[in-house]
Structure 1
């Protein structure tokens, strides 16, 4: 809700106070909320943008996992990340990961600032561990996996510092207000970039009779994203995995990626990488089968992985994105009954595309320390081009080009 000036909230329970935005999340009687506010709406639940497809490490690949796995990272090869590291590794840049938690003890993730990290999930389990699932650790490895430890994978910006903003408890969603609170925290800790590989659909125009709730969600989201950008934090968001045309869907608003400020990222990927044939059925920049799209709804396309679901190869998983994972052993009730295990796995989704852009933004900022979020965004967009033969609706300004952005 947006409280009236001088509103008496004593009859309500404040769940999230969002200072600087003019919003609070409360529980209480609707009549009391309405009497004290200039606008309100139910707090929608957002979910992780779970990968459209994923794969545990296959037996025939497990023997190689103690050696550098860069050869399996088609995304880093296509983006020329090793060459970009000759310019910068992203040192001095801070990236907040608003997700399910980061495994700070993973051998490939050695720069997670736990002092600045915060648990927003309400489960009381703290930070630095993937209590909400492997998703946040996979995203974090795409951004900043160590490239100098002679093991595992490399991240796009391995010199960047990560901040764990854990919003998801295990197996549950997160209220919209909690996501907004995590954005504000990212700003408060001076994060240069905030990655959000998550989302939900909320009514755009039609809710009950008047559509006022859809307008309310958009206003709250835009307030948070505009505040972040003005204060020096660039927010990067996954576009979603529903294969939806966001430009022409008049019924729903996709939260948070349809906010007016911030970068909305679609996913691309190959078909045929590492199958043994000399060519690809689809190239690295081709739109993934699951990605959301839409003119004016997408800002950039980036590697997120793809799959041929009708004619899968024995090596289909190689077309996904390889990164770090960590998982806990749990009982049937989801309770943790063992320590975390650390490894690597493949996944594909706009969740994997967004952190490639967050890492690229970190590289641009490390190479240009005085850049504002608008200047970083401009550098990324001006360097990008729409691949020949593909629809601009999938790319916005184009396909991510890290070297030219630098």
Structure 2
């Protein structure tokens, strides 16, 4: 892959990123498939009596997710919209990225993201004990050595209905990397470090091995996360650009109900802002879902250039806005370490975020037969969001009395915009986890 510079690489492949916003679009389901229904004036029993199958009953937000003919949905006489799917634009294959064996290096030395946040000092205050974080993603590998201590398999849930279950990387390695950033074990003398290794992880899987994630399943996972008392729910996913027209109004209503419910339950919803290099504040009739919903923490990405590549110091500091990140002063709450990249000189991947991954394996019939557990570098706002979710766990562990709004306010008030960069990339500023605890 030599010979590409940053601009040409972005043009060719979308990014060197984890996340689902790069190049993704909202694809509306056909009219005879799946629908979200406003249930304020109907009920599950009435929907079933109309011949519809109910996939999710979400009374907390007055919403049903039903499957069947659109004519049967129309007969209910209530507001509805077709479900849509989000595509997962995965980063490059880590085996291509990790051309050097990370296991030959001290793992923490590769984690500029944790160094920049003073995570070891934060752990002198709290490791996140007594808290719970939902990871709404491709699935979290409970068997990974860095996550065995953290994943609550009993509470973990599969929202796809594909039959594989939960607490495994059935939809890909992305969710395990996200969970590792939050909670990788700091006391097993191996692997990487998470921001809040004392927290509990709940796997809420919304991606199948070969399918997209349904908007309705994501909403159901958010409601579930709040219902079971998660301190934070991490969504390293999204779709951009989506039109504010078409289903935008209905989706916005459902999202706002969902995030309001989560806020009232004390759950902080943390969302990746996306990887399109887009100005979310000046994009007209377009919207990024769900990062532009109310009551969420929208996170942009930062990262260094030149980390661990010699004695001359960094070409750009760790708080440099990432080449790919979406931005917009009022569209972003905080920035956090998500990884960066410049060119393909030796060691360029050190500027990305290093943590756990689990690569699923299937036989010819599609049966899951296990996973390979390792670590690697990935970059994206997908990696920035769980830095914030981990900070929420630490803060809530220290101050369980803080409600969701006060947690968000603390994170914003202790963040700072670097003098040498434009605030449009940072919202309130760069995440300062240790300062938030102090």
Pick the TM interval, shorter chain. Answer: over 0.9
8 Å Cα contact 1:2-1:37 kept in structure 2: no
Q: Tell me which residue corresponds to 1:210.
A: none
Aligned to 1:133: 172
How far apart are 1:224 and its partner, in Å? 0.2
8 Å Cα contact 2:102/2:375 also seen in 1: no
Cα distance in 2 for partners of 1:6, 1:373 equals 31
SS at structure 1 position matched to 2:104:
coil
Could you tell me the TM-score, scaled by structure 1's length? Answer: 0.93
Match of 2:348 among 300, 316, 322: 316
For residues 57-206 of structure 1, the aligned pairs below 5 Å read 58-64=98-104, 68-109=106-147, 110-201=149-240, 203-206=242-245
Cα deviation, 1:155-207, whole Å, max 9, x if unaligned, reads 00011111111111112111111111101111121111111101123643333
* Counterparts in 2 of 1:3 and 1:363: CA distance versus 1, 3 Å: closer
Change (3 A) 1:175 1:284: same
Range 344-353 or range 290-299, more displaced: 290-299
- CA distance, structure 1, for counterparts of residue 73 and residue 284 of structure 2: 28
Name the SS for the 2:401 alignment partner.
Answer: coil
Q: Deviations over 1:313-341 (max 9, x none)?
A: 110110010000111233577x2464211
- Of 383, 388, 395, the match for 1:357: 388
Partner of 2:378: 347
The total of aligned residue pairs comes to: 396
Task: Answer whether contact 2:164 2:368 (CA < 8 A) is retained.
Answer: no
Matched, 1:45 2:88: no
The CA RMSD over aligned residues, in Å, is: 1.9
Q: Deviations over 1:107-153 (max 9, x none)?
A: 11112111111111111111221011100100000000011111111
Shift of 1:60: 3.3
Q: Which of 240, 243, 249 in structure 1 is aligned with 2:277?
A: 243
Classify 1:281/1:336 alpha carbon distance in 2 versus 1 (closer, same or farther; 3 Å): farther
Q: 1:395 deviation in Å?
A: 0.9
2:413 corresponding residue in structure 1:
382
Q: How does 1:177-326 map to 2 (within 5 A)?
A: 177-201=216-240, 203-207=242-246, 213-308=247-342, 311-326=343-358
Q: Tell me: CA distance 1:242–1:332, structure 2 relative to 1, closer, same or farther (3 Å).
A: farther
**Partner in structure 2 of residue 26 of structure 1:** 66
Partner Cα separation in structure 1 for residue 161 and residue 103 of structure 2: 39
More helix by share: 2
Shift of 1:20: 1.5
* TM-score where L is the length of structure 2: 0.86
